[in-house]
Amino acid sequence: MLLSKDDILSKDDLPFQDVSVPEWGGMVRLKTLMEDELGPYEEGLIDMTGDSRKVVLRNMRAKLVSLVIVDEEGKQLFGPAHIAALARKSAKAMDRVFTIAQKMNGLGKDYVDDMVKNLSTDTENDSNTD
């Protein structure tokens, strides 16, 4: 059976997952990102200074974690202003939450490597030489 536009748009496809974080003394709730949230996250990992492009790994985990941790009503707990504070939290705890957030959002373990490869390909294709 093929899905209709209404079938697709009416489906709640943004599940939540509760994750135990012993370092923080309890549980956090993670949400699945919407497409319009994932794009800006990815753009924030790319430094496009002049003609060069490179993947910026600094605070990569904190940036994703800030987007996915929500309260009981599904409201985001953190915003861009909290990234630096999250980056000063336990690397072990952040990695636990980040890894689950990656899985929930279809960002495989080779996600960063793939971004780097794609940037290299894009940069070669963007050359001004004929």
Does CATH number 3.30.2220.20 belong to domain 16-125?
A: yes
What is the band of 115 on the pLDDT scale with cuts at 50, 70, 90? low
Q: Is the pLDDT assigned to residue 86 strictly greater than 60? A: yes
Q: What is the percent of the chain where pLDDT is above 70?
A: 85
Q: How confident is the model at residue 124 (pLDDT cuts 50, 70, 90)?
A: very low
For residues 8-26, average pLDDT: 95
pTM of the model: 0.79
Q: How do the domains of the chain map onto residue ranges?
A: 16-125
44-53 long-range contacts, CB within 8 A, separation 24+: 45/112, 45/115, 46/115, 46/119, 51/126, 52/123, 53/119, 53/122, 53/123
User: Which has more pLDDT, 125 or 75?
Assistant: 75
Burial 53-74 (b: 16+ CB within 10 A, else e): beeeeebbbbbbbbbbbbeeee
